[in-house]
Every structure is written in C-alpha cells, then in structure tokens.
Amino acid sequence: MRYDDAVASLFQAPLDQFVAERKQLASELKAAGDKAGAAKLAKLARPPISAWVVNQLWWHARDAFDALFETAQRLRDGKLEATAAHREAIAKLRARAAAILTDAGHGATEATLRRVTQTLSALAAAGGWDPDLPGALSADRDPPGFEAIGISNVIALPTTPAPKPVTAAAGDADGTAADDTTADDTTADTTDDADASDDHDAARNDLDTARQRRAAADAEAAPERREAAEHQRRRELEAAAARADDAAALRRAEAERARAAAERHRIEAALRTAQGDVAQREREVARLERDLAAARSMVEQARAVVHGLEERLAQLDN
C-alpha cells in the first residue's frame, strides 16, 4: 500500500471510525516497509464534521466539484458570465453535503453547512487542495477576498438607495418657517380655512350619500350573488359527480377486462389440456388397433391350424 492510497482510504472512512482506521492503515504501511509514511499518517488530525463532509463530496460528487473548479477558473480569467454557474455549483455541493450528513446520521445544521460553503469557496479560490491531498482536509478553509484572486465584485449584490430626507419648503432655505406674515395674509388664511371647512363638510356628505347608495345596491345585488354562487356550487358538484361516475365506470371496465382476460387464460389452459388428452388417447387407440390387427392375424393362423388338424383326423378315420 502506498501512502497516498492510505490517505485516500482514511479520509473516506466514516467520521466516528477515523481514529481506528488511521491506526489500522498506519500499521499496514509500517508492515509494508514504509515507516516514514506510517509515522506521517499517524499524525493526521481527525477533521471536524464540516471538513469531513467536504472530503466526502470530493469522493462522491466529483462532477460537481469539477464544475466548481472550472467556473472559478473562468472567473479568474475575467469571464464574469460564469458567476451564475459558479453559484449553482456551490449550491449543488451544499445540498449534496446536507444529504451526506443526514445519511451518515449527522446533523445538517446551518452552522455546519455555512462552514462547508466557506471551505468550498476557499478551495475554488485556491484552484486546488494544496497543501493537502485531494479529499483529505483535516481542517476547514477560510476563503480569501475575491480581490486576492482577481475576481473582485463577482457576487456584489444590488443596494437600495436610502430615502431622501424630507426638507422644508422651497421658500424656507434654512428649514425654518417664515415669520414675516402680514395682517392681510392672516385675514386671508382665516377666510380660506372657513371655505375649506365648508368644502370638507360637503365632501363628507357626498361620501356618506355614496356609501348609502352602495349599501343599498349591495343589498339589492346580494340575492343575485347568492343565487350565482349557489348555481356555481351546483355546477361544481355536478362536475365532480360526473368525474366520479366516469372514474367508477372506468374502474368497472378495467375490472371487466381483467375478468375476461383471466377467463380467457383459464379456457386456453383447459383447451391445451384437452388437446393433449385427445392426442394421448389417439395414440392409445392407434396402439390398440395395431394390437387388435395382430390378434386377428393370430386368430386366423390358429383357425388354419385347427382346420388342418381336422382334415388329418378325418383322413385317419377313413
């Protein structure tokens, strides 16, 4: 066994068997003469659950991992149209990680999946697993900033502009109300307020009248709406009943076809049995006819013998 093969086997083992598997593989390397490899393997740390599941993704979801590295390389090359594909690759790996954790009896918590996503992003940014062997992480990875790998602003999200503050009227540049109103303006404002009050009362009266008319119209239309609703309900019930009848008829027809098919099979089997019986009896008749012919021939021969003996006896009497 080679050291790399031992590492691959170790990091594919279930997490709760990691220590026992490490001890066993180190012993096998030592027995094979690779003492340095055995010592190096024995020092490999048991990964946290988040790093362990990333390793399993490498061993069991290689296509998705290849897509992750491929889209990351395209982003490093400045091809920002690969952004969506890169996000999709990470999302697929995250979903697969949740399934692996659940199948292995581990909790697919949000904290664990967040660390998985960060490690996947770090591997994508680095373009590989160095300094670890592929699929052999002993710890989580932290991704660098996107600027560090030449793909800045790849996942920038749109921002909503802050609402503009409400300012004073255009005539109040310093935000304070003007205080130089004249007596004439005060009188005009009082008159305007009275007119506005009258207009408000008139509008309210119109609104009340409109509400009353609408209430009356609703009251008149209510029976019609109830009748229409009842008619619609009856139509829906009739349609449902028709669908139920059709389904029942279909089930009856299918049952009848099944019974007919079963009866046909039974009759065909009985016919084959009867045909075989006829053939057997015909063969028996043919055999009996052959035996009868042979018996008749023997009877004729015996008669000839009797006749000959009778003639000789008659001659002796004479």
pLDDT value for 175:
39
Same domain membership, residue 63 and residue 29: no
Q: Is-contact 75 130, C-beta < 8 A?
A: no
Same domain membership, residue 67 and residue 129: yes
Q: Does any domain span residue 38?
A: yes
Q: Does any domain span residue 229?
A: no
Range of the domain at 26: 1-46
Q: Does any domain span residue 127?
A: yes
Same domain membership, residue 108 and residue 28: no
Same domain membership, residue 19 and residue 57: no
Q: Does any domain span residue 101?
A: yes
3-state secondary structure (DSSP) of residue 34: coil
Q: Does any domain span residue 216?
A: no
pLDDT value for 70:
96
Same domain membership, residue 150 and residue 73: yes
pLDDT value for 197:
54
pLDDT value for 318:
74
Other beta carbons within 10 angstroms of residue 143's beta carbon come to 17
Given 112, 132, 156, which residue is the final one in a domain?
156
Number of domains the chain contains: 2
DSSP string, 265-285: HHHHHHHHHHHHHHHHHHHHH
pLDDT value for 280:
66
Same domain membership, residue 80 and residue 134: yes
Same domain membership, residue 72 and residue 29: no
Same domain membership, residue 122 and residue 85: yes
Query: Mean pLDDT by 10-residue block, N- to C-terminus, for the chain (318 residues)?
Result: 93 96 95 94 96 97 94 93 94 96 94 96 94 95 61 38 41 40 41 50 67 72 74 80 77 72 64 66 79 83 85 82
Q: Does any domain span residue 182?
A: no
Residues 181 and 193: their CA atoms lie apart, in Å, by 16
Taking CA atoms, 304 is separated from 281, 290, 300, in Å, by 34, 21, 6
Same domain membership, residue 30 and residue 56: no
Q: In the chain, what's the furthest Cα-to-Cα distance?
A: 192
Please give the single-letter amino acid code of residue 167: T
Taking CA atoms, 31 is separated from 38, 45, 128, 276, in Å, by 9, 22, 32, 72
Same domain membership, residue 9 and residue 91: no
| Residue 251 Cα to chain centre, angstroms | 31
pLDDT value for 171:
39
Q: pTM value?
A: 0.47
Q: Does any domain span residue 95?
A: yes
Given 126, 156, 186, which residue is the final one in a domain?
156
Same domain membership, residue 116 and residue 63: yes
Q: Is-contact 50 141, C-beta < 8 A?
A: no
Given 136, 156, 176, which residue is the final one in a domain?
156
Tokens of 256: 């009848």
Look at the alpha carbons of 184, 187, 193, 196 in this order and tell me if their dihedral is positive or negative: negative
Same domain membership, residue 75 and residue 59: yes
Q: Is-contact 17 54, C-beta < 8 A?
A: no
Q: Does any domain span residue 9?
A: yes
